[in-house]
Amino acid sequence: MAVRNVDAGGKLKEEFLQKMPNARIDVMKIDLNSMDSVQKFASAYISRGLPPNILINNAGIIPVVKFTFSKDNIEQAFAVNNLGQFLLTDILLDTMKKTARESQIEG
């Protein structure tokens, strides 16, 4: 699980493991508000040699009142809702394709 809050992700992992004790769940930090964080996450993920079978980009923010910027000086909602997720997918795409070829299962 790629999460912004590792503590909350760890608690969710424990809940999953209570229901699926044989599951293997890794919790890794990512902040889609920072392209550097996305790149570091993707690099760490790939270096673990984990086969990504599926990628679900399920993160987003809704700008409430004021216009804010990401750590990369990009409008924050656009950075989190679009650019961070696109960058993550782009970096992991070749690894996902390799997994699909080797496993004969497309995500």
| 8 and 22 part of one domain | yes
Same domain, yes or no, for 80 and 91?
yes
Sequence-separated (6 or more) residues with CB below 8 Å from residue 71: 31, 33, 34, 36, 37
The per-residue pLDDT for range 72-87, each reduced to its tens digit, is 999 988 999 999 999 9
pTM, two decimals, is 0.85
Domain hosting residue 73, numbered range = 31-107
Q: What pLDDT was estimated at residue 65?
A: 66
Q: How many domains does the chain have?
A: 2
- 6 neighbors 29 (Cβ within 8 angstroms): yes
pLDDT tens sequence across 20-64 = 999 999 999 999 999 999 999 999 999 999 888 888 888 888 876
In which residue are the tokens 């497309």 written?
Answer: 106
